[in-house]
Structure 1
Amino acid sequence: MLSLFKKKLIKISVCVPVCGTQKLLPACLESICSQNFCGFEIIVVDDEGIGRLKEKELNTKKILKEFCKKHKSPNFCVKLVQHEKNKGLVEARRSAVYAAAGKYIMFVDSDDFLLPDALSALYEIAEKNGADIVHGRAKVKTEQDLKNLSEKDKKFLENRILEITKKITNVFAGTDCRAEGFLCKDEILNGFLVQRNHCGFLWAKLFERELCLNAFEKIPPVYCVFAEDFLVYFFLAFYAKKYAGIKNEVYSYCVDTGISSEKKIYSLEQWKKVCSAASASTVLLDFVQKKDIEAKNLTEAEIEELKKTCRYYARNNLEQLKKAVIPELQLQAYEELCEWWGKEMIKSVEK
């Protein structure tokens, strides 16, 4: 998959995890390769699992083969990492970071897009200011034309876009999603957890690879596809030395337009993915409660906010159980929920 590109020339590794989103991957790759930046690699991590891949006509390896035939550029190269089995988003991103050759890492979801000049804008600020986190602006996009939907589905999608937009712009805190300007050391974690002056999504940010390695060293192998950004960004913010928030729009977040998939959960396999938010909370609470030697650097306010967020995810899972899981699976789903979170936590959020 590699072009005639020397490893030492790679400045940024753009990491793209893929699992069940192969049909959207080509458009994502096009947005990355069209960057006016010389010296980056695209690392695609296929988390589908080898067995499941064989069952699919459209697989990641074929997509990348066609992509590389189409784009023979001296500006970038492409690398594929395949998991033997599905490991979840945290492990897909870990694999990408370990395989990366660049000084910096950028995470891009396979159903999203990089905006023009994104890599140049982020890299310039990182190098000029010695920032190990550079945070640009993101915008929300939907691929589906609202006028082609029924009134019921149109209303649902409009509400979904509003919900995502609020998360991105951090409306509840009355601020943008990023803290414009600079934050240093302890200000970064405190700003994220307590002041909420910037969000914890991994996209729209550039990270130093060394910072990512430090963060993943604290995260044990874990299956997690929900709350995974919160888990990883906590440790990134914990170890970061300098954060820079910039005005440039660098990322397009695409709202899931699979409307029916937002309404109901029909299988325990689907439900287990939702419950995996408990894995993120377990790692974070263990870090605090087992009194990791470095956890002593956290303030009481930060610990309290961390615990509140973990409880929020547990409560959110419980609400999803009541609203989304089909009646036939309710009992089994509740037992599964208690298995992931522990009965004590679920009983406490039920009150």
Structure 2
Amino acid sequence: MKNPAISILVPVYNVEPYLSRCIDSVLSQDFQDWEMILVDDGSPDNCPRICDEYAKKDFRIKVLHKNNEGLPAARKSGFELSKGEYIIHLDSDDYLLPNALSALYNKAKLGGYDIVKGCNRRFLNDEIYDIEKPNLCETEIHGSENYLKALIRHDIKPYIWGGIYKRELFYDCEYCFTSDVSICEDWITNQAIWHKVNKYIVISKVVCAYFINPNSMMQSKVLSHQYIDHVGDIMRQIANNASTEIFHLIDLDRTASHIRAFFIPELAWDSKTYDKIFKDKKKKSYIDELVPHINNRFLIFLSFKYCFKVYSRTYAYLFKFFKLKGRKRIVL
């Protein structure tokens, strides 16, 4: 039996209300040369039974039951079991829109693309929230460094889902499906394959419906300065042998993340971190470079430590009172 054109990897954990919708969206596609691997990550609900029932109905659906190890490990297990020429990642509370597989596959095959992404329709409470399009929609990216630059600049979306990938991109990839980070893992995975990506595009077709959990609309977790540094260390390791421009972009991105962290109410003011981060970065030319990476409101008073402290702490207090209504989030 020949290998399928596409392997669709679906990690499954505690998504009983949404799982059938996800699987049915694949079954109803016009493109049928696929396999779907449902990775039951020790789900405590009825998801294991639902997976098995679908597998009995269609030989293209395979089920892997495993102990709970988290999303990256589930994706890795699914990839190791897969046989397809191309890989599509699909979260089990999301679903594909009609003709998504044919649109992505045909574009990748005919155009010789390593990655083809589509646009996404975001849903909240079964109502359309918005259509998400990246800055470089319908613009080809040529060259691995240009792809990595676009990722770090956030000109292309960080998600691993919503697109099709050549299988070989994930071979021998140290930080693919990494468990070293619990937030930014998709972004890190997309960066980890950069040196193999020579041709990338986002098509304007909306291919995936992304479910927004209303309980996480304002984030349930926030990033500490230590976590931001940890992600930066991984980014620099991944970018080994890249140009100095790449490392400068990483520095700008991580600096912008640190600046935003000063406005997080769950984090105390950290004078040492401010001094460490901005010791040599208070020149107007550097601050001007930060503008594409962060909203201007976070840069007010940045060069004046104590003014910036008062401003950022006041902002954090008001955000906690009016937006979070006193609710505390988890600090990573």
TM-score by length of 2: 0.70
Q: What is the CA–CA distance in structure 2 between the aligned matches of 1:100 and 1:276, rounded to whole Å?
A: 36
Q: CA RMSD in A?
A: 3.5
The structural deviation recorded for 1:222 is 1.5
CA contact (8 A) 2:15 2:47 kept: no
Q: Alignment partner of 2:84: what SS?
A: coil
The structural deviation recorded for 1:221 is 4.9
Distance of aligned partners of 1:310 and 1:297 in 2 relative to their CA distance in 1, 3 Å threshold:
same
Name the stretch that deviates more: 123-132 or 197-206: 197-206
Q: Which amino acid aligns with 1:285?
A: D
Q: Alignment partner of 2:183: what SS?
A: coil
Q: Which amino acid aligns with 2:63?
A: L
1 or 2, which has the higher helix percentage? 1
Q: Which amino acid aligns with 1:206?
A: I
Q: What is the CA–CA distance in structure 2 between the aligned matches of 1:114 and 1:303, rounded to whole Å?
A: 33
Match among 13, 33, 40 for residue 46 of structure 1: 40
CA contact (8 A) 2:76 2:177 kept: no
**1:290-305 correspondence to structure 2 within 5 Å:** 293-295=240-242, 299-305=246-252
Q: Alignment partner of 2:60: what SS?
A: strand
> Does 2:201 align with 1:244?
yes
Q: Which amino acid aligns with 1:106?
A: I
> Does 2:138 align with 1:180?
yes
Q: Which amino acid aligns with 1:236?
A: I
**1:160-175 correspondence to structure 2 within 5 Å:** 161=129, 168-170=132-134, 175=135
> Does 2:9 align with 1:15?
yes
Q: What is the CA–CA distance in structure 2 between the aligned matches of 1:107 and 1:62, rounded to whole Å?
A: 22
Higher-Rg structure is 2
CA contact (8 A) 1:114 1:251 kept: yes
Match among 83, 86, 97 for residue 66 of structure 2: 83
CA contact (8 A) 1:89 1:228 kept: no
Q: What is the CA–CA distance in structure 2 between the aligned matches of 1:100 and 1:278, rounded to whole Å?
A: 36
CA contact (8 A) 2:174 2:192 kept: no
Query: Unpaired runs of 5+ in structure 2?
Result: 268-315
CA contact (8 A) 1:138 1:249 kept: yes
Question: Partner of 1:142 in structure 2?
Answer: 124
Distance of aligned partners of 1:16 and 1:291 in 2 relative to their CA distance in 1, 3 Å threshold:
closer
CA contact (8 A) 1:184 1:242 kept: yes
Question: Partner of 1:191 in structure 2?
Answer: 150
Length, aligned pairs only: 277
The structural deviation recorded for 1:83 is 2.9
Name the stretch that deviates more: 26-35 or 227-236: 227-236
The structural deviation recorded for 1:277 is 11
Distance of aligned partners of 1:23 and 1:224 in 2 relative to their CA distance in 1, 3 Å threshold:
farther
CA contact (8 A) 2:123 2:210 kept: yes
Distance of aligned partners of 1:105 and 1:264 in 2 relative to their CA distance in 1, 3 Å threshold:
closer
**1:192-211 correspondence to structure 2 within 5 Å:** 192-194=151-153, 196-211=154-169
Distance of aligned partners of 1:309 and 1:96 in 2 relative to their CA distance in 1, 3 Å threshold:
farther
Question: Partner of 1:268 in structure 2?
Answer: none
Q: Which amino acid aligns with 1:45?
A: V
Q: What is the CA–CA distance in structure 2 between the aligned matches of 1:182 and 1:221, rounded to whole Å?
A: 28
CA contact (8 A) 2:158 2:187 kept: yes
**1:1-351 correspondence to structure 2 within 5 Å:** 6=1, 8-47=2-41, 49=42, 53=43, 56=44, 58-69=45-56, 71-72=57-58, 77-85=60-68, 87-144=69-126, 161=129, 168-170=132-134, 175=135, 178-185=136-143, 186-194=145-153, 196-214=154-172, 216-219=173-176, 221-222=178-179, 224-257=181-214, 259=215, 282=230, 284-288=232-236, 293-295=240-242, 299-308=246-255, 311=258, 318-319=264-265, 323=320, 337=331, 340=332
The structural deviation recorded for 1:97 is 1.7
Q: Alignment partner of 2:193: what SS?
A: helix
Distance of aligned partners of 1:13 and 1:276 in 2 relative to their CA distance in 1, 3 Å threshold:
farther
The structural deviation recorded for 1:38 is 2.5
Q: Percent of aligned pairs with the same residue?
A: 27
CA contact (8 A) 1:126 1:132 kept: yes
The structural deviation recorded for 1:295 is 4.5
Q: CA offsets, 1:107-163, max 9 Å, x none? A: 111111101111111111111111110011211223446xxxxxxxxxxxx9xx46x
The structural deviation recorded for 1:250 is 1.0
Q: What is the CA–CA distance in structure 1 between the aligned matches of 2:39 and 2:226, rounded to whole Å?
A: 23
Q: CA offsets, 1:26-65, max 9 Å, x none? A: 1100001111112211111222x3xxx5xx4x43321022
The structural deviation recorded for 1:200 is 1.4
Q: What is the CA–CA distance in structure 2 between the aligned matches of 1:88 and 1:112, rounded to whole Å?
A: 18
